[in-house]
Structure 1
């Protein structure tokens, strides 16, 4: 967790800063907040102070006769400064090295890491002057989160580029920015979600997989610097930013998509719940309902993981085993049979860690005989533990 200074400059998106502060604190970060006079035209010092759990650094406080160099204090305290919302004016001052207000002085006083969440009209964002300032700040190592495309604040402006990212996405981007890039250079395929095997245009065989575990692996790997391709079955989850997403439905489509990327990949994490069987015949039209019994003939789907193991080479290969009983024995057999480096065993019938849950409780079985039981934890944390071993095998 980090010491985060949230610096709000003047823009209507400042009304979202209290929510951002609460999210940062809930995630375990230590937070302070700075607000320019124009930011305080949109959000009150009291709402900022309550959300941050402490006093607000303002121009008024900067000029109090207390002997404190507040800009120096803030710059030394913060491990990262997140300017949100970031106006064109704030960007320009930082790029030019001006220091005529508390925000610009704090940035010039040695702030360790700086990230910007731009919020302005599209014309201002795309202006050559603004883009020149952005490039200068990027050259200094500053990060930019957004802006997003969407409805603009001014009446009659419609949609465009310039909206500040929502607080939830800013939190995710910030944590990615702070994560050490120990997987930089790794080319990783992750599969996620269920597959659907259609009987006719409206009926299919599937399972309740939400895709959350695979998405967590893809997002955690992205945060750690890996280049990630996510092959996703039908899920309700939005595409993660910074990840190439290939959408598929059936097991045959998933196999085709993964094999197309396999020559490029250095590691594969197969977290998808791929259907074992598909209907022998798929009807072109909807089958009318009848009262009589119907017999459905199924044929096996290709075993994608086994096929990858046969062509493994020096790649790192991770599989999942979802069991209800005799899990360790079955997982060990699958680990050997499919030529895996690591298999992740989880029990789908345990309350709170089955399909669709936000947490997981797994056992990691490694090719060298190690067995690691992980307690219940958020799926993103499970993902990082899996990736720790992917890194170990990849580096080796």
Structure 2
């Protein structure tokens, strides 16, 4: 209990660089001039591309993907809904193009009712949209919407299990996915701005329980742990969106890396930093990680090297590694930044970055949504664009407060 209280106190008094783009310590590191130039071009190209995408998005919907030469949009209740306005706000930060900012604002009214929704993904949906809008122009309205969203997420917490519930469960089941690590940022933010420690207590409990039960000895992660809600015992461990239950689904490793890096930022608890570093080492030292650092959809896919690549996982890795580099020694920082730079360069090539007007207006090609299902395979995905733009903005801010 003393440890949790110490963490909560540190959470409330930390000098706060709020924002989904993340906090970054000042590094003795100079970004590569040619990569900064490339990022500038990428952001300009992305802004033009998203003006194409805008034309394909119905007023009451949000874009999800483009497949079979058709745009696919989704409702605000879909877990990916917040990424489109969030990306628009990021692109506005990177280009100061007000058309993009206004397009992001135009989607917020259809997103606002989500603050009451019963969903484990409300952090993705609301913090990526309203959170990014609030970072640009802080607003009491945005703050209230986000706090209501945090309250809604808190209702899914089971103190016996120690986690918030993910997918709807059958009697005797309480299913928790690694993706939920990403929704904890909303809870940590809520404690910071409200002074109510209950949100952070839930986030810390969830992070600790996930650390204990989701990870294998090599620090790869299961996708899902199915708990008994009455006892907190474990019914089963699975990797639903990966190749097999004992495989390392690429995007899941990214959710863990990003989530524990964020939890270290918010608490300064060294065990979260250790966890993030172990996950990073699993990814970067894996023999099946391609030299260009954009992973196959699963590290254990049986058809490597002919397996599908997942640009979305690569983008998440890059963004997380850039932030993680600010919390470690110089040798580790260089390793993480070298990898992030390689990913950004790879995703900037014609293989992954779409030409103007192509790809339905999305920036990146070749992501994998849910191969076993199968659904959205080798297509653009809205969250791939989001984390790619976030990674580029984070790189531009290296060495700055």
Category of TM-score, reference length = shorter chain: under 0.3
Query: Which structure: larger Rg?
Result: 1
Q: TM-score, normalised by structure 2?
A: 0.22
Relative CO higher for 1 or 2, CA cutoff 8 Å, sep ≥ 6? Answer: 2
TM-score normalized with structure 1 length: 0.22
**Which structure is higher in helix share?**
2
